Structure 1
Amino acid sequence: MATWLITLVFTFILLALMWGIIYITGGTKYAYVHLMYIPVMFAGYILGPIGGIFIAIVAGILVGPLMPMDVETNIPQPFDTQLTRTLFFILIGGIIGFASNSLKKHLIKIHDTLAEISYVYGNTLKTYARMISARDEQTSFHCERVAYNAVLLGKAYGLTGPDLDALYWSGLLHDVGKIGVKEKILLKEGKLTPEEFEQVKKHSEIGYELIKSLSPQLLPVAEGIHSHHEKWNGSGYPKGLKGKNIPLFGRILAIVDVFEALTSERPYKEPWRAEEAIQYLLENKGVLFDPELTTLFEQLYNDGKVWIYQKSIQLVHSLIPTSFNKEILKRT
């Protein structure tokens, strides 16, 4: 109601302004009289057909009985001219109003459809995350910590909104491609053979193709998954990208994934102390890892914000998006 009243007040200001211009320029016999279509069309678009028709009638009165045909000689307008002009105002206001209402209804349908699509994508991604969890509970918690710490680092770097949401999903699903790797290889306690390691290396490409196939909207998520094993000096896989040729999500995930892997218990190793893992990252800053991001991550660790395997922390809810937009938050 408040918005409607504000719009109405603004429309009357427009009417007064147009009336003043028409009067100053000499009256309705000049082309400036057509300026009255501006508030009429504005009212129709914002207020709908009723508002458009109401303002059209007001406009017709303002440039009809209340406006001479020629201001200088004070010659009045013929009644039929006033009536015809007012009918045209009403016609335009009504048409614009009905068209606006129809457009708004279509936009609502489009919004609802997009929300439904996003809802499906969100649930699909959650299903993939549950698949990882069901296969290996340890890996599941690993992915949660990677996702949380990735968003923590991304936010410190300056990412906001949808970028943080996409980064979260990249972190949560960075190992989704491992569903294409044999379980006996993933859970092997000893050192992998070269052939087995080649099988493991395929998980980033499998995950990339899997997520990319869902929607072009998920390409940033897929690229993060694809590049999270790339190294700053080009020694990583699958493409051997170097420096800032590595997508930002990949550079962020490379740091938090390695930190998480080093500090976590695995079938084939004991966990490192967090201080040792940070030292490893610093020693390889500018070699394996983005130097700027590595420094930021060290600061976050020193501030006690990083989620570590051996440490329970109070998670910041705003850093754990459940989907890509508010609509999904309402429905999940």
Structure 2
Amino acid sequence: MRINSSLDKQSTNSVFAQVGYYLRQKLHYFNPHRYLCAQLGLTIAGMTLFLFTFTRLTISSILFAALVYLVSEQKRKKEVAKLSTSLNQLVSTLAQQEQAIQMTNQKLNQELWERQKTEQFLRKTQQQFRQIAENIEEIIWIASFEFNQLLYISPAYEKIFGRSCDLLYQDPTSWLELVHRRDRKSLKKALEIHKKQAQPISIKFRIVRPNGTVRWLWSQTFPVKNQQNKLYRSTGIVVDITQQKQAESEMRRSLEQEQELNELKSRFISIASHEFRTSLNKIMSSAEILQNADLNLMQQNKYKYVENIKSSTERMIQIIEEFLLIEK
């Protein structure tokens, strides 16, 4: 029996085919009838050949079993090696995945820490913003860009407009009802420009509070963009400038009065200068007549010229007193 020894290069089916072919040949060669006698059963030669053939068959079976074991063991070793390789690859993959998971966890922990820090900063900033907004006299507001939703309004709105903030949250455009009828057109035009051109606006207008009092307001509105550079909010500040307007009105009246007084002074000075010159001329002429008069000048005429000098002097004194009175 000759079998190829390079078992690692032959498949199991090929080995089984070779062994099976050898056994079939031997069984075909062995014919018991050639060695049997009708009276004695087996002859010595037949028995000897039978035993020899049986022994060869037994050895062949053992060899076949050993061959099968070797083939199975070699196949098992290959499978074990393959499995070992797969396990090594799996361990390596798991190690890489574990490392990746650790890095991901570290990144997530860092992001979580940064997020908590950001949220803490935002809460602190929001608290500071509310402390400022709720304790100043100006109105601070935040709304959607289309003004159809009010996001925040400071408590100063109730003090300035005389209406509750809750009513404004329910109807964000209700404040327009309080705008003075003479200022509504210009205010609506400014708001339209803000919506169409997304430009900051600054406008002064009046409101009529529910109690009938009129207040002057100065409103500044600004567009707000998000991270995508898209407009999504509007914010602004409203200042009560009623006292400033009243001061301006009083100053205007003072300027007008001062202008009238200056005009009066100018007219007075013009008239006074004329009166002054007239009085001085009378004094000078009367004095010259008295100085150049003859000793025979009648007493009555002397008295007349002295009275002219006296009346002119009194008139000049009166003009000076009136001038000093105007200066006060």
The verdict on a shared fold, with TM-score over 0.5 as the criterion, is no
Shorter-normalised TM-score: what interval? under 0.3
| TM-score with structure 2 setting the length | 0.26
Higher strand share: 2
Is the radius of gyration larger for structure 1 or structure 2? 2
Query: Which one scores higher on RCO, CA 8 angstroms, separation ≥ 6?
Result: 1
TM-score when normalising by structure 1: 0.26
